[in-house]
Structure 1
Amino acid sequence: MRIEKQLEKVWNNLQAKKSHLRDYLDEIHLSGIRGIDDLRVRFDYPVSIISGSNCSGKSTLLFAAACAYKVPGAGIKDFVPSSLFPDYRPNKGNHQDKRDIVTLSFEYTTPTGRRSMRWQRRKGWNRSFFGRKGAKQPERPIYLRTLTNLSNPSEVRGVLQMSRLATPPQEYHLTASQISFAQQLLPFQYDNVVNLTNG
C-alpha cells in the first residue's frame, strides 16, 4: 500500500473517533504574547500537527496549550503562565519586560457541553471561568518536552535564572546587522537590542 493511502486510512480512522471523544481542547485564542496580537487555533481532529518556520509561534502555542489543564500530581507553579511565560524583571539592572495585557483563552468540549476558561495578565496572572460558579480547570496529564528535554524549556529557564542574579547582568549592544537579523525573525522594529549575560 502506498504511503499516501496508509496516511489517508489513519487520518480517516482518527476523524471517525472524534465523535466518540467526549473531553478535549477545542480551541486556543492568544493575544498580546510574544508578538502575537490575535491568533485563534482550532483543534478539529484528535491529532493536530503544528508546523512553521523558526520564530513563528509554535512553542508559544504549545506552552499555552500546557496551561489549559490542571495536571494531576504537578506542582502549583507547573503548567501555569507565570512559569511558562515569565517576565524578565531582574533584581538588578536596567532592562525589564513591558507589562502588556496578555490573554490565553481556551474552549473545551466536555461531557456536559462546551466550557471556557481564560488566563489573563495585567499586573499579575488571573484565571477566569466567565462567571460559572464552582467551575474548575479541567484535569488531564500533560507532557511538555522540548528538544533538550528539560522540565522548564531552556528559554524559560534562562529568563528565570537571569532575573534572580545578585549582580546586574552584563549588557552587550548588538550591531546594526544583528538588529536587522532580529527584525527579520520577529515582527518588531527594534531601535536597540541588548544581549544580557550573567558573565
Structure 2
Amino acid sequence: MSFKSEVRQSTINNLLEKVRDRKYDKYLSRLTLKKVRGFSDEHISFDFPVTAIIGPNGGGKTTVLGAAAILHRSIAPRQFFSKSGNYDAEMQDWSIEYEVIDRSVSAKGSIQRTASFKNKKWNRDALARNALLFGVSRTVPASERKELIPCTSRKFSVPESRVEAFTDNVRKCISRILGKSVEGFKRLKVNASGTVSMLTGKTENGVGYSEFHFGAGESSIIKMVAAIEAAEDASLVLIEEIENGLHPVATVRLVEYLIEVAERKRIQVVLTTHSNEALKPLPDKAVWSATKDKLFQGKLDVASLRAITGQIETQGVIFVEDEFAKTWVEAILRESSKGLVDHFEVHAMAGDGTAVAMNKYHNANPAIEVPSICIIDGDSAQIEGERVLRLPGAAPESFIFDSCVDTWPSIGGKLSVALLQRFEREAEVLALCKNVRTTNMDHHLLFAQLGEKLGLVPDATVRQAFVTQWAQTNTQAVDEILARLEALGNA
C-alpha cells in the first residue's frame, strides 16, 4: 500500500518555493565540506526546510550535521569535532564554507561564512541564530541519568511553583505524534534554576507516574516538542538519529510535525536517520545520502546504501530511476534461465540523474569490488554508455500498459487472473483498461486507477501483473537486456 502523508502536497510545494525564492530572515542555504574527515569539496544544499541525512554507520551523517551546527554561536565546535591532543592531527586545515541568508546582516542577498581548523583551534565567522541540538543522549532512560538520582528518594518533591503544565498547543502536537492524550503531563524543575527537569504523567484512570516509567522515545518526543514550540521563530533544529526509541508510526508523525512547524514558525531542521519511515513525508530534494566521501541528493531506500557502499554479496548491482523501474527490471531478471535474479540487487533511486550518479560513484570506488550498471527509462535525458542502458519505450508506465493491451488476445486471460479476476472476465477487464487509458491524465497513476476499478486491487499487484506479462511476452527485448547484465556479471 502506497504511503499517504498527512502533510498536504500544497504545503510541500509552498515550502520548496519559499526556499527557492529565499523568503527567509535566517536560513542555511548551502554548505561545502572543503576538507573535513573523508570529504573533499562536497556540497549540500538545503532546498527544503526539513532536510534528512541518511547513510551507513561511519558514512558522514553526523559530520554534515556538525558542519551545519558550528556555524552558530550557541553550539561549540567541540560538540561535534573535538581534538584529542596529538591523536587528531588530521584535523589540521579542515575547512567548511557556507552560504547563508541572514537579513540582519544583508537585507537582500545571501552572505558567505567559513569555519576552519588551523593552529590547533577552530576559527569561524559564527552567526547569532538560535540553534537547538537534540543528540542521541536524549533517549537515555531516566533511571540511567545521574542528575535524576536525587529524584528516586521516597521524600522527593518540588514546590508547586516549579511544576509546569504544558500549553494546549504543545499537548496537541505531542498527542498527535504519540497517538495518546498527554492531558495530565507536566514538567518538574528538579533544581531551582531548572537546568535539571523531570516529566510526570497520568494514566487514563488518573494514576500519576514519573519519567522513570516513561518510554525513552516518549520522553524525548515530549521534550523536543516543548523546546521547539518555546523556541523563537526561524530557529535551527538539529536532530541525531530521529527514529531513536520511536515506533515507525511515531517517526512518520514526528517528521510531519517538523514540516508543519517549519511552515508555522519558519524554523529549519536538519536530521540524521537510518529509517525509511523518516523519509516518507519528505520530498526528494529534502534527502541527502552521505557515503564516507560523497554526498548525493535524492530519496532512496535506506537498504540501497549497502549497494552504494559495496556492502553486498551479489554478482552485480542495478541502479534504476524509481520503484516502477525496479519492479520492471526484476520481472526481466526472473526471465533469465541462468537465475540472474538471484545474482543482482536492484535499487530504486530518486530520478535518472541520481541513478546515473550513484552508478558512476559505485564503479569508480576502488574499495567496491562488485560492479554495477544503471538502467534508465526510455524518456530519460541521460546518455547511454557502457554501464548505462535504456529500457524500451518512452514513458515507462504507459509503454507497459499499452504493450499489454495491444497483445491482449494472447495474454488477456493470464493477465486477468494475475489481476485477481476470473479468467472468463478478460473482456470486461480489457474494457476497463481502455476506459482507464482514455480518462487518464497522469501515466504514473494508470495502475492505481485500474486497480481501483477492479475492486480496490493494490497498485503494486497491478504493476507486478503487467510487467510480468510484458517480460514473458517480449522475449527479444528481454534477452537483449539480460545479455548486457550477464556480461556485466562475468566481467
TMscore range, shorter length: 0.5 to 0.7
Counterpart residue identity of residue 120, structure 1: S
The corresponding residue for 1:105 is 97
Q: Could you tell me which residue of structure 2 aligns to residue 179 of structure 1?
A: none
Query: Are 1:13 and 2:3 an aligned pair?
Result: no
Aligned partner of 1:31 in structure 2 is 34
Tell me what 1:60 maps to: 63
* 2: CA distance, partners of 1:54 / 1:35: 14
Q: Which among 118, 121, 134 is matched to residue 145 of structure 1?
A: 134
Provide the C-alpha distance between the structure 2 equivalents of 1:38 and 1:145, rounded to a whole number of angstroms.
Answer: 27
Aligned 8 A contact 1:117 1:127 in 2: no
- After superposition, the Cα gap between the structure-2 partners of 1:64 and 1:13, relative to the gap in structure 1 and judged at 3 Å, is same
SS at match of 1:48: strand
Moved over 4 A (4+): 4-7
TM (normalized to structure 1)?
A: 0.57
User: What is the aligned counterpart of 1:86 among 70, 82, 86?
Assistant: 82
Q: Which residue of 2 aligns with 1:117?
A: 113
| Deviation of the 1:31 alpha carbon | 3.0
Question: Over alpha carbons, which structure has the higher Rg?
Answer: 2
Q: Is the partner of 1:38 in helix, strand or coil?
A: strand
Letter in 1 for 2:93: I
- Check whether the contact 1:50–1:58 (CA below 8 A) recurs between aligned residues: yes
TM-score, length-normalised on structure 2? Answer: 0.25
- Please give the per-residue CA displacement for 1:99-148, whole angstroms capped at 9, x wherever unaligned: 4310022111232221111111122234355xxxxxxx321121112222
Structure 1's unaligned 5+ residue stretches are: 72-78, 91-95, 130-136, 151-183, 190-199
CA contact (8 A) 2:29 2:100 kept: yes
**What residue number does 1:49 align with?**
52
- For structure 2, list consecutive stretches of 5 or more residues without a partner in the other structure: 141-309, 312-364, 368-491
Equivalent-residue separation in structure 1 for 2:110 and 2:10 (angstroms): 29
What do the CA deviations read for 1:29-69 (whole angstroms, capped 9, x no partner)?
11332222222111122222222222211111111111011
Give the conservation status (yes or no) of the 8 Å contact 1:23–1:110: yes
Tell me the distance in 1 between the aligned counterparts of 2:13 and 2:113.
30
**Conserved? CA contact 1:82–1:125, under 8 Å:** no
CA distance in 2: counterparts of 1:61 and 1:89, whole angstroms: 23
Q: Which residue of 1 aligns with 2:377?
A: none
- Structure 1 vs Structure 2: percent identity of aligned residues? 23
3-state SS of the aligned residue for 2:16?
Answer: helix
Asked whether the equivalents of residues 22 and 109 of structure 1 are also in contact (C-alpha less than 8 Å), the reply is yes
Shift of 1:97: 2.0
Structure number with the bigger relative contact order (C-alpha 8 A, sep ≥ 6) is 1
Count of residues paired in the alignment: 136
- Quote how far apart the aligned CAs of 1:87 are: 1.6
- Once the 2 structures are TM-superposed, how far is the Cα of residue 82 of structure 1 from its aligned partner? 3.9
